[in-house]
Amino acid sequence: MPTNAETVALALDRITAGYVFPERAAEIDRAIRKRLAAGEYDALDGPALCGAVTAHLLEVCPDQHLALRWDDEPQPVLPEDPDKGQAAFLARMRTFNQGVRGFQHLDGNVGYLDVRRIADAAEGARVIGAAMELVAGTSALVLDLRECLGGSPEGCNTWCSYFFPDDQTHLKDIYDRESDTTRQYWTLAHLPAPRYLDRPVYVLTSARTFSGGEDFAYTLQAHRRALVVGETTRGGAHPTGSYQLDAHISVRVPSARGVVIATGTNWEGVGVAPDIAVPAEQALEVAHRDALARTAQPAAPEQ
């Protein structure tokens, strides 16, 4: 087993090589190595080490994706993880039903989808399509992202495409430091279920909503395709890779930065602010009530 100092040094090497803002990576490296030299981490056990280093990383650079993570179950340590944790992510999504937790048909013909993760576009497309088939005939839709803690930018693009009429909407761009390239994300031309157009859409958020969940909420809100109801989200916008440092500790390194075209920015550090601010536990009731008011049919005229 490597020493704490060796593990932290490996983490700093990863951050320096891959963090999306190189100048901030240099600041992080200086600050944490100063603590290393002072022996601050020497006596900590694994979970405490991860907690302390993560707190110190955030003091220098308040990027909510930047962290050391402890796993009780030993993980394989490879010389190089070529897919930056993608295989592990796909495996988790399979156990999470590609992120779709549940469907309800609420009173007043209002659809409800509970989405806990944003799946990979390829593996998750059929489940996302099946969910959208279930709500295809509803008069309004509530997307519950209050417990959505992240996922795939490509999967978010798939979800968002259902709420636009064609493939002509430029949703966002993502710059990747490693390849020094920018990828454009446009709505998709072909989807496995009907698009959800010309009807009210509500997105429920909480202070726990994070990363891919925030991407989904912010993108629909910025393009005026949904009302966000609930609480301001956590504020983590940078796509991230995960690297195993030893059998129990990995480091998460944000390596890319997204810009939503409708605003020219993203939600990093500030979160997604709701259009209708209410405590998270009241968000569904408030959204449902608003949906009923917006979709109420006028009374039939008297004969």
What's the CATH code of the domain at 65?
Answer: 3.30.750.44
Q: What is the pLDDT of residue 303?
A: 47
Is 281 or 296 the better-scoring residue by pLDDT? 281
**Nearest to residue 185, comparing CAs of 145, 139, 223, 154?**
154
Residue 265 lies in a domain: no
Domain range spanning residue 110?
96-236+271-295
Contact 132, 199 (CB under 8 A): no
Regarding whether 232 and 245 lie in a shared domain, the answer is no
Co-location of 127 and 76 in the same domain:
no
Same domain for 65 and 192? no
Same domain for 180 and 136?
Answer: yes
168 and 281 housed in the same domain: yes
CA distance 32 to 55: 11
* Residue at 285 is within a domain: yes
Q: What is the mean pLDDT of residues 45-61?
A: 96
Same domain for 35 and 59, yes or no, is yes
What's the predicted TM-score (pTM) here? Answer: 0.85
pLDDT at residue 299 is higher than 60: no
Answer yes or no: is 56 within a domain.
Answer: yes
Mean pLDDT, residues 28-44 = 96
Q: Are residues 213 and 248 in the same domain?
A: no
For residues 232 and 154, is the Cβ–Cβ distance under 8 A?
Answer: no
Domain assignment present for residue 179? The answer is yes
Q: Kindly state whether residues 20 and 110 are assigned to the same domain.
A: no
Query: If DSSP codes are grouped into helix, strand and coil, which group holds residue 278?
Result: coil
User: pLDDT-based confidence at 300, cuts 50/70/90?
Assistant: very low
User: Residue 301 domain-assigned?
Assistant: no
Query: How many domains are there within the chain?
Result: 2
**Is residue 303 included in any domain, yes or no?**
no
Q: Say yes or no: 280 and 134 in one domain.
A: yes
pLDDT surpasses 80 at 78: no
| pLDDT at 145 (0 to 100) | 98
User: What pLDDT is stored for residue 89 in this prediction?
Assistant: 83
| pLDDT surpasses 60 at 297 | no
Q: Is 110 within 8 Å of 294 (Cβ atoms)?
A: no
Q: Is the domain of 216 the same as that of 249?
A: no
- Token digits for 240? 């991230």
Average pLDDT for the chain: 93
Q: What percent of the chain has pLDDT over 90?
A: 86
pLDDT value, residue 301 = 53
Average pLDDT over residues 257-276: 95
Q: Are residues 110 and 146 in the same domain?
A: yes
On whether the CB atoms of residues 89 and 96 are closer than 8 A, the answer is no
Range 39-52 average pLDDT: 96
